[in-house]
Amino acid sequence: MPTTTYRTELKKVRGLGSAIGGPGTDHFWAQRLTAVSNLFVVAFLVYTGLTLAGAPLGEVKAFFGHPFNAIASILVVISTAIHMRLGMQVPVEEYMPHGLKVPFLFLNTFFVIVIAVVGVLSILKLFLGN
Amino acid sequence: MAEAKPIAGTRPLAPKPMSPHLSIYRFQINMILSIMHRVTGITNYFGSLILAIWIASAATSEQAFNTVSSYLATPLGLVILIGFTWSVMHHMLGGIRHFVWDVGWGFSKPAVKFLSWATLFGSLTLTAIIWGYALSHWGIR
């Protein structure tokens, strides 16, 4: 066979890569979807920060006691958590040496879930008033 | 680069072509911004810890909340918060820039340059506005 090929045998057998309707597309799409929602939730996060900068705990409790603020804040957590999880996956996959890749991909998911649960639970507790 | 091992009974693969990357490029603002997008993304990832600790302290006790708040109000705390804000704004505007590219616009050289500088100055401006307001507000309390 005279022609050189850059395709692996496995690639030919499977026919589809990650990019064609596979996890690559899903990752790309979810990253953009949450990038759009992040525009809105980060705007709310900035509003939260400006409202509560230097505020005593009483004001913080009152702020999160409002249903709109509590709902928006939980959306901040969900939207950014998904985006973070997808985003960190990329440098881990690209820069981590072989043996560390999978452990750090696991760690990435664990970290994000812990942050998200802490965030949502804290907001709920403040909303419900203990 | 680890060579891919040929599977038994198949032809060995041709060596994959390598791009002469990084070292041969002349400085361009957009390559710095590309790196910055990653760096700020990673910064924001860990910055979320600050927000999580803050909200958790508020949900825990007055004492915990006051402790965390007093740390955040130190000069170092403020520098970290301002840096975090800038990082978020930079990543946000960088994301918008990527959306412009995703729909196929802004690929001419001047447009790429403009979008890159706009991201940089826009992020600094937004950070200045946010913290100008926050600090004056904070001072009043």
Residue to test with chain B: of A52, A111, A118, most B Cβ within 10 A: A118
Report pLDDT for B8. 67
Please tell me the distance from the alpha carbon of residue B126 to that of residue B129, in angstroms, as a whole number.
5
Is position A13 within any domain? no
CA distance B35 to B118: 16
Q: Which residues contact B136 (CB under 8 A, 6 or more apart)?
A: none
In a domain? residue B133: yes
DSSP code of residue B108? S
In a domain, A6, yes or no: no
CA A70 to chain centre: 19
Domain that holds residue A90: 30-128
Q: How many whole angstroms separate alpha carbon A9 and alpha carbon B94?
A: 38
Kindly identify which residue of chain A lies nearest to residue B134, measuring between CA atoms: A50
- Running along chain A, 130 residues long, what does each successive block of 10 average in pLDDT? 70 66 83 97 97 94 97 98 97 94 97 98 93
The domain tally of chain A equals 1
Q: Which of A60, A84, A88 is closest, CB to CB, to B58? A: A60
What pLDDT does residue B1 have?
A: 47
Contact A38 B133 (CB under 8 A): no
Domain annotation covers residue A18: no
Question: Which pLDDT value is given to residue A49?
Answer: 95
Residue A15: the pLDDT is: 62
Q: Is residue B97 part of a domain?
A: yes
**Average confidence score pLDDT of chain B:** 89
Question: What are the Cα distances from residue B39, in Å, to B7, B44, B45, B64, B105?
Answer: 38, 9, 10, 31, 24
If one counts the domains in chain B, the total is 1
Give residue A56's Cα distance to chain centre: 30
With respect to residue B109, please indicate whether it lies within any of the assigned structural domains. Answer: yes
Confidence band for B27, pLDDT divided at 50, 70 and 90: confident
Say which of B2, B7, B44 has its CB closest to residue A9. Answer: B7
- Residue A11 placed within a domain: no
Please check the confidence at residue B2 and state whether its pLDDT lies above 60: no
Residue A46, in any domain of the structure: yes
Q: Quick one: pLDDT band at residue B19, thresholds 50, 70, 90? A: confident
What is the least distance, in Å, from the CA of B26 to any CA of chain A?
A: 24
Cβ(A122)–Cβ(B56) under 8 Å?
yes
**Spatial contact of A30 and A86, defined as CB atoms under 8 Å apart:** yes
B88-133 tens-digit pLDDT: 999 999 999 999 999 999 999 999 999 999 999 999 999 999 999 9
* Any domain includes A92: yes
Residue B10 maps to a domain = no
Residue A78 lies inside a defined structural domain of this protein: yes
| B79: CATH | 1.20.1300.10
| Token pair in block for residue A46 | 């900035």
- Full domain range(s) for residue B112: 29-140
**CA of A2 to nearest chain B CA: how many angstroms apart?**
12
Q: What is the DSSP string of B30-91?
A: HHHHHHHHHHHHHHHHHHHHHHHHHHHHHHH-HHHHHHHHHHHTSHHHHHHHHHHHHHHHHH
Is A44 domain-assigned? yes
Cα separation, B67 vs B65, in Å, equals: 5
Is B121 among the domain residues? yes
Please, what sign has the CA dihedral across residues B86, B87, B88, B89?
positive
| Sign (positive or negative) of CA dihedral B102, B105, B108, B110 | negative
pLDDT recorded at residue A5: 75
Facing B59 at nearest CB: one of A4, A81, A125 = A125
What is the per-residue pLDDT for B52? 98
Which residues from B are below 8 Å from A64, CB to CB?
58
What pLDDT does residue A51 have?
94
How far is residue B44's CA from residue B66's CA, in Å, rounded to a whole number? 24
Give the ipTM. Answer: 0.86
pLDDT at B119: 97
Helix (H, G, I), strand (E, B) or coil at A98: helix
More confident residue, B25 or A28: A28
CB contact burial B15-32 (16+ within 10 A = b; e otherwise)? eeeeeeeeeeeeeeeeee
Q: How far apart are CA B52 and CA A119, in angstroms?
A: 6
The CATH number of the domain holding residue A86 is 1.20.1300
Instruction: Find all residues with CB under 8 Å of A24, minimum gap 6, and list them.
Output: A17, A18
